[in-house]
Amino acid sequence: MKWEDVRQAFPEQWVLIEAVQAHTDDKSERVLEEISLLKNFSKYSDAMKAYQKIHQENPERELYVLHTSRKEPNIIEKKWVGVRK
């Protein structure tokens, strides 16, 4: 599924999606070539609760909560430097 398909199917909704096929371009933007819609929500807080539950169980999955009013996902990958305790 493509982002535009999700936008058309669920206008003005919060969606929990998973990147099926993605890469990072030379500007550190995450390009989502193929995504899977996990669930749609009317409230951001409900979407985040669902995200947290799945992320705790499967932290290796690439999940995003986005609003379908966005024309493009525009996900910037940030590099973290430092030590975690």
The domain spans of the chain are 3-76
At 14-62, the pLDDT tens digits run 999 999 999 999 999 999 999 999 999 999 999 999 999 999 999 999 9
CA dihedral (33, 77, 15, 10) positive or negative = negative
Cβ 63 vs Cβ 55: under 8 Å: yes
Task: Give the predicted TM-score (pTM) of the model.
Answer: 0.89
Q: Is 3 helix (H, G, I), strand (E, B) or coil?
A: helix
Beta-carbon contacts of 84 under 8 Å, excluding residues fewer than 6 positions away, are: none
At 84, the pLDDT band (50, 70, 90 cuts) reads: low
Better pLDDT: 38 or 83 = 38
